[in-house]
Amino acid sequence: MMQLSRSLKLLGLVFLFLLISVNSAVAFCGFYVAKADSNLYNQASQVIIARDGKRTVLTMANDYQGAVNDFAMVVPVPVILTEEQVKVGEPLIIERLDAFSAPRLVEYFDEDPCHRSYFEDEVFRTPAAPQAASEMKESRNNALGVTVEEAFTVGEYDIVILSAKESDGLEVWLKENGYRIPNGTSDLLRPYIQQNLKFFVAKVNLTEYENTGFKSLRPLMMAYESPKFMLPIRLGMLNAQGEQDLIVYLLSPKGQVELTNYRTVKVPSNLEIPEFIQQEFAPFYKAMFTKSYERNGKKVAFIEYAWNMANCDPCSAQPLNREELEKAGVFWLDNSRFNNVFITRLHLRYQRDNFPEDLKFQETANNQLFQGRYIIRHPFREKRDCEAAKTYYQSVRERQDQEAMTLSRLTGWNLYDIRKKINFIEFENVPWWRRIFGS
């Protein structure tokens, strides 16, 4: 059952771009240093949804751990899927989307204060598939109110598409046909049956899995048409051990994709933090995300990235090319419209109490650019005697104090401990007591 809970998580399954009015072309991006990708989390389910109008391509990445013969996936879907509508995806595509859209750390280097050529500081402050093969089998299915609409094998997966009249019968059918699901599943299946949804059910074909040569299960992709734009997550909570992380990459030709039934907020962004975070970016981002999650009542989805796929600023990874986008499910590309792929990266941390409903989305024409972006600024530390240098050294010290307070506020880390890690700049007019007290 623990294995099922992990696989069903699939069902459970960012730099705020400030428009600074300046005439000169200052390099806004800075130098890319590090990124906060899905590897920060022990088990982060990842889903790609490419959507245009009523057409959807859904890709679900497995983070399943355990014996593959115990793997089971049950996904409510709005329509009956045929074999040609399902395929096995490439894990690399999800890795590419993750790397491209991950929150990032950038760095700037202050110039010689006696020869400054940049803007004032304020600019920056900103088994085989079950089938009805015999009359006895069909009779049993009818008694349970379950119909096998389709049955086929795709890659290493045996897949059936089921419809059901009542949830208890569906739960019994799944258990009788070798799917390891926990008791009580019927309570969560019932609302989907009431909505007339079908069920995409998959398990591993061991022979085909051995033939693939892969050491882990590959993503599953499905394409369908439906006015329903949603992602079912409630089944993933049935046997979950605590909170789960889910990252959804939403691809649209129009603009940002938003949730309609949960509040969506942007992660804190475009903030200056101390230099030492360059070596501690992963624990910083995890602590910052957790703090933001708690401050928002644990009932929100976070936008970590929203950008046109044609470019990036700064780039934590190169944009996906045409072939990669198609492998991610983008189906609307043509030679004249290559740039109209907008990616929205949503990060949710959820459990049964704070996310009682499945995720419902809508496409928008909002093309506002956003990314989780965190800035470190390296002071100019060489000794200079010009008048501007005196003001500069004082401003840097004030800046470093502010960076420490910002970091403490974002993460909840102890301010005293933060200050001990900062290499504070020294200048002639520093009060003598600061050298003793370190304040």
Summarised one tens digit per residue, pLDDT across range 19-69 is 222 222 223 357 888 888 888 877 778 999 999 999 999 999 876 777 777
Question: Residues with Cβ < 8 Å from 287, sequence gap 6 or more?
Answer: 410, 411, 412, 413
Highest mean pLDDT among 1-10, 199-208, 331-340, 426-435: 199-208
Rounded distance, CA 21 to CA 77, Å? 47
Distance of CA 214 to the CA centre of its chain: 24
Average of per-residue pLDDT across 280-289: 96
In which element (H, E) is residue 86 found?
A: strand 86-88
| DSSP codes, 166-194 | -HHHHHHHHHHTT----TTHHHHHHHHHH
The structural domains of the chain, with segments of one domain joined by +, span: 2-378, 380-439
Q: Token digits for 250?
A: 């939403």
- The closest of 107, 91, 87 to 38, measured between CA atoms, is 91
Residue written as token pair 């590897």: 39
Question: Residues with Cβ < 8 Å from 319, sequence gap 6 or more?
Answer: 100, 309, 310, 311, 312
How much is the pLDDT for 243?
83
The pTM assigned to this predicted structure is 0.85
Among the listed ranges 117-126, 194-203, 229-238, 364-373, which one has the minimum average pLDDT value?
Answer: 117-126
Average of per-residue pLDDT across 358-375: 94
How much is the pLDDT for 10?
39
Please say if the pLDDT value at position 7 is more than 70: no
How much is the pLDDT for 240?
58
CB 52 within 8 A of CB 224: no
